[in-house]
Amino acid sequence: MITRQFGLPVTSPGAILRREKDLGTPLGLETAEITKKGGLVPDKIIVSLIEDWLRLHGGYGFVFDGFPRTLPQGQSLDEILQRQNHPLDLAIWLDVSNETVRERIGHRLQCRSCGFTTSESAAHFADRSVCPFCDGSLARRNDDDPEVLEKRWQEYNSKTQPLADFYSTSSILHRVDGNRDRDAVFADISRLMEEKIPA
């Protein structure tokens, strides 16, 4: 949705790593085992992949989904952007309850080709689980199970929460209530992007 409205490339560490896995690279296969068990891929690997992606795609703006996730990743991103002379304009923190996360992950479908994410309960996917953007197959992720989710919560509390303090020291951090439906959340994100990102 962001790409269509703002013309900015969007990626996530997960999308980059799934691409590596699909290509059968040693890095892709190694990191797939880590994420399957609910672990976080080491910061050094993630930062290196992000820096490579930025070099290729980030010259005229970019959006990261789920990055940075740890304080060292946030600090590394700042260093990368300083070297490339691209200041960070906006950081959005989606506040989502444990209950909402469990519900969404429990019914999540993701396109195996482009990464589009939706829900099993979405009416227009009830009969035909095909991505509306690339016709790829929509399927459950193999790391969406209760045990993995519990481990992710532990990782989040210990490694991701400190990012809020890191970005709170500047004016770029904005919190958005992520418990609402997709359109309401996207409307708030769009407004923030229009206000903060230079034309």
Q: What is the CATH number of the domain that holds 184?
A: 3.40.50.300
- What is the residue-level pLDDT of the chain in tens, covering all 199 positions? 787 788 888 888 888 888 888 888 888 888 888 887 777 788 999 999 899 899 888 888 899 998 998 899 999 999 999 998 888 889 999 999 888 888 888 778 888 888 788 887 764 665 667 888 888 888 887 767 777 777 777 877 788 888 888 888 888 899 999 999 989 999 999 999 988 765 5
How far apart CA 157 and CA 149 sit, in angstroms, is 12
How far apart CA 50 and CA 86 sit, in angstroms, is 14
Structural domain harbouring 96: 2-196
- Provide the number of structural domains found in the chain: 1
pTM: 0.72
Per-residue confidence (pLDDT) for residue 198, from 0 to 100: 59
